[in-house]
Structure 1
Amino acid sequence: MKFIFDPRQLLHDPELYFRRGAFIPHPEQPQRAILVRDALLAAAHEMEAPRDHGIAPVKAVHDEGYVDFLLTGWPEWVKATGTTVPAVPNYHTDRRTWRVPKGVIGKLGYYSTDTSCPLVEGTATAIYWSAQTAIEAAERVRTGETDHIYALCRPPGHHAVQDASWGFCFFNNAAVAAQHLRGRFGKVAILDVDTHAGNGTQDIFYERGDVLYVSIHTDPSDYTPFFLGYEDETGRGEGAGATRNLVLPVGAGVEDILARYDAAVEIIRASGVEALVLSLGLDMSKDDPLSLVGMTTEGFRIGAAKLAALGLPTVIVQEGGYLGPSLSDNAVAFLGAFEAART
């Protein structure tokens, strides 16, 4: 399978993350992408670089002020504080009738939901090229150049809401890709198989009927992202019925997870969508440091074949998957099985 990747995505390199009352090494490290990239190349997958499609496709799903802040916030932070320590917010709004402040300290809090998305010197470049990776993959499917392709996006994106970062995510790459596909396809599905609910993707499309959002994830009642991703959240207005959350209990094993895959396939088949964006989280793995469920490498292989059988033009966008022992094996297994089922 061809995959898209740009090494500039590695420039976002946060060191620490404040979690459960303590600073820990930040889980979203550049090494994640390096391991997956190198394993795919060793397995004879073909890597290509993205072209620069500009910022307009990102602003098609994100607030313009938010996008501009992420791309310019670092030099503003350095100028305002006189330091080059990571820019981490210590103020937050309760969303969303409050005013956008003028200074970088206030903006940092306004455009962030938590402390997991610090701005560092390379953040703007990394998130820009992560988005361009998704756009390039979507463009190739949109134009019919390919039927399926993988975007090795890093940082990930599915927690980023319309106007705020969240959970390691800045630009919502899957949402950007889906919106880009809408330039050709009348209705698009996003299937999210990350262990965490894709609250940002849900937020962006919750009132739209032209993008079906289906998510398989761990129960968020005591697990990130906590506030969204429940089964009774099904969309609003024109989007009524176009959001489906297939929730897994903590401790779910392969059989339970694959049963949700089957349910998602049936929902997508019945929806009449013409193309698919797959938010691929490898962090359901039983040995992923952030996982509370028990997916296996063989489970990823079986799940990939189920999704490939939909036969839809497909953009696979990388989401979670952290530095567990089987990360690269799971990527190779999933993408290899998807490719084999389509050839």
Structure 2
Amino acid sequence: MKRLLLIFVVFLGAAALFASDVRRVLDAPMNLGANTTLTITPGQTLSAVLETLQERQWLVSPQRNTLYLRTYARMTGLGTRIKAGEYPLSPGMTALQALQLFESGKTVSYQLRLLEGWTFRQALSAIREHPNIQQTLGDAAEAAILQQLGVEVGSLEGRLFPDTYHFPSGTTDIAVIRRAYDTMTTALQQAWDQRASDLPYASADEALIMASIVEKETGDASERAQIAGVFVRRLQLGMRLQTDPTVIYGLGSAFDGNLRKRDLLADTPYNTYTRNGLPPTPICLPGRAALYAALHPAEGKALFFVARGDGTHAFSDTLDQHEAAVRRYQLKK
């Protein structure tokens, strides 16, 4: 009886020592430097992940650490729940905490900012130049991108919502474009559903075109609704919009930064000095505020405005008032 008791005590002591060693090893911080990441590829097994940790000499007591982690994962099912992605590993993190992180799917997040007023070409360039976006489109033209998206619009101009997008490494270019496209589609539909009455737009697409013009014309955010009001009244009266940003967009690469009288007379589909109505497409990516202004224009009688030179505009109800404002703010320069 005493012998059995002794064996039992020894067994308990050994178990306690083993449990203590397991806890000590699993609680030991890994050998990690600052800004360390680990990428787990799709389908990678727990054993492969543990081998990587060991090969990079991040584990303290590598053999025991691997054994204990594998056993723990088998008992808890943790090894079957790790997710692919790039993970941030910070100094002081234990291997067990790392496995729990791999299970959570909280990967490194990168960001891309698409700015209000950018053209689709500028947005596409930012996507193509981002080091953490997987490039699959190459130098594909807009028509090929539209085909991949599978959407029935004639152009992607103005169709990407300007915002800051967060995404994990490995996200493809087409996925980013689709996300920005879907975000704009939702924002436009929401704005259209809540639009003011008696607007001169045949569709939400026409409102998007107007919003892009308002975006490019606005220097001071407080004037968006006023600028939209001027253009809406012009449409309602059958007047030409006569807005420089559409002319500049139509000139494309031929625009050298200086808009001349001959440019205003050169007819293109985007020249609102020579053509009635709205241009055929948006001219930039309009933000939410521009969408709202285009669909909630300020009331009033102003039909003209001219830049003061400080980002704001002088608004006029009549041509005589406008010409006086031009002489005051433009010709004096």
What range describes the TM-score normalised by the shorter chain of this pair?
Answer: under 0.3
Which is helix-richer, 1 or 2?
A: 2
For normalisation by structure 2, the TM-score amounts to 0.22
RCO comparison, higher one (Cα < 8 Å, 6+): 1
For normalisation by structure 1, the TM-score amounts to 0.22
